[in-house]
Amino acid sequence: MRNWTGYAGDYPGTLHTPNIDALAARSTRYLNAYAAVPLCAGSRTTVLLGQSPATHRVDRMAILDGRYREIYRDPATVSLPEVLARQGYYTAGSGKVFHSPEPARWDEQGPAVIISRLPDASGPGPDGTNINHGVLAPGAAHPDQVVASWARGFLQRYDAARPFFLAVGFYQPHLPWRVPQWAYDLYRGEEVRVHRPPAGDLDDEPAQAVTLAMKPLLYGLAPQYEAVDRAGMAAAYTRAYLAALTHTDAMLGQVLAALAESAHAANTDIILWSDHGFHLGEKFHWQKSTFWEPAVRVPLLVSAPGNPAYPVADVTHPVSLLDLAPTVLDLAGLPPFAGFEGLPLREASADRAVEIYLEGGRATVQGGIKTIDYDLSAAGPGDRASYDLVADPGELDNLLAAP
């Protein structure tokens, strides 16, 4: 989920995210939160292991060759739920929390439903693109509904003396954007705002940036953006993304309603986060896996009633998902864990640099400036870019481009 929510105001049209917005109204709202990796496995490894990508090194290749599973299943690796379990918490998780189900890391593993069970979960799609969308068949069980129903049941039945840590992982708006008709109907008749990048938007970018923007190359020939444009599907795909986002909001609403009706409503803190974002045409890209804002900037909320360290307020300076594991311990009043490399979010200062890693490169965001080095192994400025995110939020002007 990119940073498109009603409370954030990033989307220029109408969004239907009432449950996220209601949670935001009683949360600390981190308006410039960044994924440590704009890939699901790498980002989730950072969050669940509390490690920088420079430490865990779960990149695209580690996902493709399955090496991330070796890291997950290394008995010497201690994850957030295990740290909590050692401190007396009962831990339960369902859906996509780790990149894959890891029952050994939890006291209770809920349904391990996967998005690939949806029809046409991966490309090529019917429009000559790698994007699939459409209406879920009437009566079909959506994987996120299975997860939400299990989480509601957990909250209704849990009555043990031990405090609990519950992790609920929804898949959408991950592709395929296939949700019930009611979610599409909410955007019927509304103008969908489609992003059209200005001509020459990539002209001042390093070659490595252009290569990332052109991915995926469909059948080794055409960039995804060209395929979407040629098929005339930009508006339909954007509408499908919005519908998938709204479906996730509804699933969240079910879980929050169950919490409100449970015995745990008054003493349960909530963190809402997304592993990374997704381009919908910006920088000539329809995908994740870039250093630009649509792929790396994410929603992040912390609702901690009565905790003065996490007030109802906006935080505008950059923060990192690397800080989520220490924040959970902080909210629980537990001592820090030496294996977690971040800081509790309440300690994340405005002058601290946030780091993002991808395919041998790194971006830093600090003081409203994003600087990208696309190849850390190479010297010289030819593979670098920098943007003033305050004056140029669309990252149209590379400050390091050759004159």
Residues in CB range of 182: below 8 A, 6 or more apart:
none
* The predicted structure's pLDDT at residue 118: 65
For 315-344, write each residue's pLDDT tens digit.
999 999 999 999 999 999 999 999 999 999
State the pairing for strand pair 28-30/33-34: unpaired
CA torsion through residues 363, 63, 40, 45, sign? negative
CB 111, CB 92: distance < 8 Å: no
* The predicted structure's pLDDT at residue 220: 61
State the pairing for strand pair 133-135/177-179: parallel
Nearest to 337 by CA among 108, 89, 79, 37: 79
User: Residue 169's beta-bridge partner residues?
Assistant: 95
Cα 376–380–382 angle (5° rounding)? Answer: 90
State the pairing for strand pair 270-273/164-169: unpaired
Which residue bears the tokens 């994003």?
A: 370
* The predicted structure's pLDDT at residue 389: 97
CB 300, CB 329: distance < 8 Å: no
E strands of 136-273, at which residues?
A: 164-169, 177-179, 217-218, 222-223, 270-273
Tokens of 173: 């708006």
Q: To which CATH superfamily is domain 18-201+232-353 assigned? A: Alkaline Phosphatase, subunit A (3.40.720.10)
Distance CA 300, CA 291 (A): 18
Mean pLDDT, contiguous 10-residue spans, the chain (403 residues): 93 94 98 96 94 88 74 85 98 92 92 68 73 90 94 95 96 93 91 92 95 80 88 95 97 98 96 97 95 98 96 97 98 96 94 94 96 90 93 96 75
Round to the nearest angstrom and report the end-to-end CA distance of the chain: 36
* The predicted structure's pLDDT at residue 303: 98
Q: Is the peptide bond before 143 cis (omega within 30 degrees of 0)?
A: no
Which residue bears the tokens 């954030």?
A: 8
Nearest to 287 by CA among 223, 230, 356: 223
* The predicted structure's pLDDT at residue 126: 78
Cα 87–93–119 angle (5° rounding)? Answer: 165
* The predicted structure's pLDDT at residue 71: 79
Residues in CB range of 128: below 8 A, 6 or more apart:
218, 227, 230, 231
For 188-229, write each residue's pLDDT tens digit.
877 899 999 999 999 999 999 999 999 887 666 788 899 999
> Half-sphere exposure of residue 213, counting CA atoms within 13 Å on the CB side?
18
* The predicted structure's pLDDT at residue 353: 95
Q: In which region does residue 385 sit, left (phi positive, over 0), alpha (psi from -120 to 50) or beta (all else)?
A: beta
SS (H, E, C) 104-139: HHCCEECCCCCHHHCCCCCCCCCCCCCCCEEECCCC
- Average model confidence (pLDDT) for the chain? 92
Q: Report, in angstroms and rounded to the nearest whole number, the Rg of the chain calculated over CA atoms.
A: 20
